[in-house]
Amino acid sequence: MSKTGDLEPGHRSFEYPGAKVYPANLRNGEPNRVSTTRFTALTWIPKSLFLQFQRAANLYFLFIAIIVCMPFSPKRWQSKVIPYALVLTWTALKDLFEDSRRRRDDQTENCRKCWVYDFQQGSFIQIQWSMVKPGDFVCTLCDEPFPADLLVVGAAGHQGAFISTVNLDGETNLKLRSPPKVFESVVSPQSESDSVSRPPPPAADIVSLVSGGLMVQFASPCADLSDMHAAIELGSERCAANCENFVPRGCVLRNTPWMIAIVAYAGRDTKACLNSAEVAGKVSSLQGSLNFCVYGLLAALFATCIYMATLAKVAEPATDWAVRFLSYTITLYHVVPISLYVSFEILKLALGGFIDFDAQMIDESTGQGAKARTADLVEEMGQVDFIFSDKTGTLTANEMRFAECAVDSLVFSTFLQDPRGGPVGGVQEAQQILGDPTHHMHKAVLWFFTCLSVCHTVQADEKDGCVQYSGPSPDEVALVKGACQAGIAFKMRKTDLERKLVEVVVSGPSDAPDRVFSIRNIIEFTADRKRMSVVCESDGNFYCITKGADVAMSPLLLAPLGQKEEEQLCLFSQKGLRTLVVASAQLDSSTFSAWESSWLAAAMSMDQRTERMAECAAAVERNLELVGITAVEDRLQAGVPETVAKVKSAGIRLWVLTGDKTETAVDIAYSCNLFAQKAALAFVTGAVDSSDANASLQNARKLLEGTADGGIVLDGQSLNFILEDPVAADLLLDLGLRSRSCVCSRLSPAQKRKLVELVRLRSPKKAITLAIGDGANDVPMLLGAHVGIGIRGKEGSQAVQASDIAISQFRHLLPLLLCHGRRAYRRIATFLCYYLYKNVALAWGDVIWAHQGGFSGDVAYPEWLSTSFNAVFTSWPVLVVLAFDQDIPDALANSNPQIYQEGVQGDWFNRRLFGLWMLAAAWHGSLAWIVPNLSFGSSTYDSVAFWRASTTSFTIVIIAISLKLFLHSFSRSRPTCWAPILGSILVYVLVLFLLGYVSFGQRMQPNLSDGGDPPVPGWIFSNALPLLQTLLVPGVAILPDIACLIYARRLSPSPLFKVGCKVESDVELLT
């Protein structure tokens, strides 16, 4: 162990007695205080404004707010500055409210109490969590959370401490955390079964511990939950600690009266805080399209202002061109309204709420429904072109059952119980062999099932007279249960206090005495290693028992897997079973002693620890003898085949990414309808170099040429070569676009993400990608896709925590896409087109008036009417109408997946459609201005006739855009459609009369009441001509819209309109 003066950056060292901590600043202040707030009292306003001005539109509105205060402004500054200030204030207050909730939660967390050992008093005292410091000795009582990341020193009963990590990773099974070997005999077993309300007096144990000269060195803090290690010296004893000896902050002590630990990491250095870092946000494609349209409208706005300012300069040379340009900019600024982005977010929030309350996606077994963790991407789910799905726990139930196995040439029958009852063939065969010591396969079969009972990290708990198994991996639990079925049972784990070793007790067969295996070392499973090993001792013999994937195990065997074993693996895989190879080696004592010393040195090293431990693992995991092969069943979730079939019918490409064998993955693909029975499959597997991978891709391209429902089978080895070659990567992408489905086997988490990014970043039409998974190994691809869907499963909640939407079953993906995603895309696309359309329609009156009035720079409409246009009259109706706009029932949407393609093809938002909306705006706005002005208007600004015609034009615009909204709704007969539209018109009439007749309104808008009797509102509604125009002109204006709608819905209907027409005709028949 390096001395304290030689510490690497980030490392830390604690020395006792004296609790000397290096570096010393670790104990300064309140290192365990957590703060998740974004603002302080001084930084709230400046920081909130800074964040708001990151959006380009806010800079534009700021520019308008500044120039409207200039003397030349044609509008009052109050009408622009006040609404803009209200928007900024509302956002700042929202930020403050969210921050106050975070501050309150922080205060609650920091003020929790825990027991810390006071060396001066020689006893434990209670202090707040915020006062806990690295190097402190902490005593945690049963059902109390841990205040920091702790190194276990001891617990009541010597077996270690059981902890619940559900708050951290979502896993509900309890985990055993044991003290490192040097601590195993330190704490006395008093109070080991009694519940306590304060720490027992273990002061003497702690004094004896620290007086022996204790030094603990910890590695740098990191976010990886499994990466926790330390080097410990206690007198002459040395040992290493790993994640099995640590407990993370926020987890809870269970079924253990008390536990003593050393604070290793506090505050921001804890796993909980390091994993709470914000991930870069995702932006939907429609958000990008909106920004593009806004920039286009701003460019058109400035071009129009330049054009009109130039004509004003030509008409009157004395005109100040810059002043006139800025005047027109103020006049037409509402082309991009302040309320656009606020309304956009409100609509998304409402659509996200519909996901949360949808009864279709409630899991019957848990009662949990879907959860939109972010509402920013709801419309993205209506445009998905590629789905990347994990297999285990996503398509399958992750409920592992030991199905079959093979030992040498003997392949056992199934271990699965027939639903009709009767004996289980495989179990009977195994028990018969194990019960007959003279059988020629007895020794081999006994050792096979013994290896399954020893090589694992499963816990055995006795409840109601029965042993129940639990562990972090469902596969391991299934293997242990399979061995138990055969008669070789894992009974318990216990600690040998004298030798400071954990022992595994195995019983069977029949009346044979229990066997004890002392676990000397565990070499853990990782996604890269694809195997795990246990180095153990029994009756003076040392063994290395290893189990793992065949591709990882074959190179470690004395002889590579032969044809017989390959046939067995293929047989199991073709049944859709998950296979593992089990092997072992016996070590002599000298070899083991030398290896254990190297392993200890590697485990205690702070530099290049991972590489050194990998070298040590490779040194012992070699020259293994094959013991047998296991096959575990993981059945499909309910509704998966039907969901996959409908997803493919929706035109979505589905890729299944898994770490399983190719044969297993292909069999699952057939059983879940990913591959049709007669589909042409192109295999790109087993490549040994780049040229081989390219040749496989070329052959696959020829095979899939002209096929409508072809599939690709790809493996991780070939994918490595493909991703290294840009040409091969493009060819793979081309194959993916030609086919409808793909299975990728033997992939690592990093390869999953690279495959998602290949499609996301390099597809010609920027295909929208969706990734769905349930485990921590799926997190990279969930973060890499446009939309990440996390499934609540048995592998913790890391996938859910990294997802955008959380669901409980794969089948819930269908209503999520075909109902919510599809509708959200249509609704938001219509919202964007309509919101910009109505403001452009209003702006056309100002453009035409500029030509009529000789480019004087005067406004066309009453100022407070145009100011209230978005905030009071037109924004809230479109939100209500579109939020509740129902096209077809959910059941019909789920049974007609072909309608989903409208989103993939961008039928509801594209350049052509947006251009048509803008043409409609020009037609409606121009007609609304021209008709009244030619009838009874005046070119004399500020005359009574001018304002009568102007107000009539404004009224026509309000009614015309309301009718257009009504036309574009699918729910015209529902109150959620006509009620807000009618209500907005009534609100407009009310405001109009308030401005014309109430003294306060007359002061705000004097030109509606000055010089006329009656005031302008009364004149409009009491004279036949303007009243007739307000009723007829909007109808004439939308006649082209009606014609287009009839053509689109009746003469050339899209799939959605066809289904909708069928529903209408069915309703007519029923009535």
pLDDT at 769 over 60: yes
> What mean pLDDT do residues 118-130 have?
86
**Same-domain check for residues 972 and 1012:** yes
Binding region: 390-392, 476, 525, 547, 578, 658-660, 746, 752, 774, 777-778
What would the two tokens of residue 655 be?
């890729």
Task: Say how far apart CA 722 and CA 692 lie, in whole Å.
Answer: 10
**Same-domain check for residues 476 and 590:** yes
Task: Give the CATH number, domain containing residue 831.
Answer: 1.20.1110.10
3-state secondary structure of 906: coil
**Same-domain check for residues 206 and 334:** no
CB 386 within 8 A of CB 757: no
pLDDT at 190 over 70: no
Binding region for Mg(2+): 390, 392, 774, 778
Give the model's pLDDT for residue 58.
81
Tell me the pTM: 0.80
Summarize pLDDT for 1000-1053 with one digit per residue, the tens.
Answer: 888 888 888 876 678 899 999 999 999 999 999 999 999 999 998 888 777 778
**Domain-terminating residue out of 633, 668, 695:** 633
DSSP per-residue letters across 679-723? --EEEE----SHHHHHHHHHHHHHHHTT-SS-EEEEEHHHHHHHH
> What mean pLDDT do residues 872-899 have?
92
Give the model's pLDDT for residue 191.
45
Summarize pLDDT for 703-760 with one digit per residue, the tens.
Answer: 888 787 789 999 988 999 999 999 999 999 999 888 889 999 888 888 888 999 999 9
Band of pLDDT at residue 1066, cut at 50, 70 and 90 = very low
Task: Give the CATH number, domain containing residue 778.
Answer: 3.40.50.1000
CB 709 within 8 A of CB 684: no
Give the model's pLDDT for residue 983.
95
Within-domain flag for 108: no
Sheet holding 12-16, edge to edge: 20-22, 12-16, 214-218, 230-234, 237-241
**Domain-terminating residue out of 618, 633, 648:** 633
pLDDT at 277 over 90: no
> What mean pLDDT do residues 300-316 have?
90
Within-domain flag for 71: no
Q: What share of the chain is helix, strand, coil (3-state, %, to 5)?
A: 50, 20, 30
Give the model's pLDDT for residue 641.
92
> What mean pLDDT do residues 812-816 have?
95
**Same-domain check for residues 620 and 643:** no
CB 350 within 8 A of CB 335: no
Summarize pLDDT for 509-559 with one digit per residue, the tens.
Answer: 887 899 999 999 889 887 678 899 999 999 999 999 999 999 889 999 998
Catalytic residue among 390, 667, 715, 885: 390
Give the model's pLDDT for residue 201.
67
Summarize pLDDT for 236-275 with one digit per residue, the tens.
Answer: 788 888 888 899 888 888 878 888 889 999 988 888 777 6
Band of pLDDT at residue 1067, cut at 50, 70 and 90 = very low
**Same-domain check for residues 423 and 438:** yes
Give the model's pLDDT for residue 442.
94
**Same-domain check for residues 612 and 643:** no
> What mean pLDDT do residues 832-837 have?
94
Summarize pLDDT for 399-419 with one digit per residue, the tens.
Answer: 889 999 999 999 998 898 877
**Domain-terminating residue out of 602, 633, 664:** 633
Question: How many domains does the structure of the chain reveal?
Answer: 4
Band of pLDDT at residue 211, cut at 50, 70 and 90 = low
Within-domain flag for 619: yes
**Same-domain check for residues 587 and 483:** yes
DSSP per-residue letters across 62-121? HHHHHHTTSTT-SS-THHHHHHHHHHHHHHHHHHHHHHHHHHHHHHHHHT-EEEEEETTT
pLDDT at 426 over 70: yes
> What mean pLDDT do residues 621-649 have?
92
Within-domain flag for 813: no
Cα 199-201-203 angle, rounded to 5 deg: 115
More confident position, 864 or 985: 985
Band of pLDDT at residue 796, cut at 50, 70 and 90 = low
**Same-domain check for residues 901 and 968:** yes
- Tell the burial category of 45 from Cβ atoms under 10 Å away from its Cβ (0-12, 13-18, 19+): middle
Within-domain flag for 342: yes
**Same-domain check for residues 685 and 713:** yes
269 given a catalytic annotation: no
Q: How many CB atoms lie within 10 A of CB 903?
A: 28
Give the model's pLDDT for residue 154.
82
Give the model's pLDDT for residue 375.
84
Give the model's pLDDT for residue 167.
64
What would the two tokens of residue 19 be?
């609790």
Give the model's pLDDT for residue 780.
86
Task: Say how far apart CA 137 and CA 119 lie, in whole Å.
Answer: 10
More confident position, 52 or 697: 697
Give the model's pLDDT for residue 170.
54
Summarize pLDDT for 29-48 with one digit per residue, the tens.
Answer: 888 888 878 888 888 888 88
Task: Give the CATH number, domain containing residue 182.
Answer: 2.70.150.10
**Same-domain check for residues 575 and 628:** yes
Give the model's pLDDT for residue 807.
94
> What mean pLDDT do residues 314-326 have?
88
> What mean pLDDT do residues 344-369 have?
91
From 1002, 904, 1009, 1016, select the one nearest 952 (Cα to Cα): 1016
What would the two tokens of residue 675 be?
């591959």
Within-domain flag for 114: no
Give the model's pLDDT for residue 1062.
62
Least confident of 2-6, 181-185, 587-591: 2-6
* Residue 439, C-beta contacts closer than 8 angstroms, at least 6 positions apart: 432, 433, 445
**Same-domain check for residues 297 and 258:** no
**Same-domain check for residues 210 and 294:** no
Give the model's pLDDT for residue 192.
45
Cα 808-809-812 angle, rounded to 5 deg: 100
Within-domain flag for 85: no
Least confident of 606-610, 870-874, 1026-1030: 606-610
Within-domain flag for 40: no
Give the model's pLDDT for residue 1034.
95
Q: Which residue range is the domain that position 836 belongs to?
A: 288-359+818-1070
User: What is the overall mean pLDDT for the chain?
Assistant: 86
> What mean pLDDT do residues 972-993 have?
94
Report which DSSP code applies to 1013. Answer: S
Band of pLDDT at residue 623, cut at 50, 70 and 90 = very high
Summarize pLDDT for 478-521 with one digit per residue, the tens.
Answer: 999 999 999 999 998 887 767 778 889 999 888 789 999 999 98
Band of pLDDT at residue 234, cut at 50, 70 and 90 = confident
Give the model's pLDDT for residue 1.
52
Task: Give the CATH number, domain containing residue 592.
Answer: 3.40.1110.10
Share of the chain above pLDDT 70, in %: 93
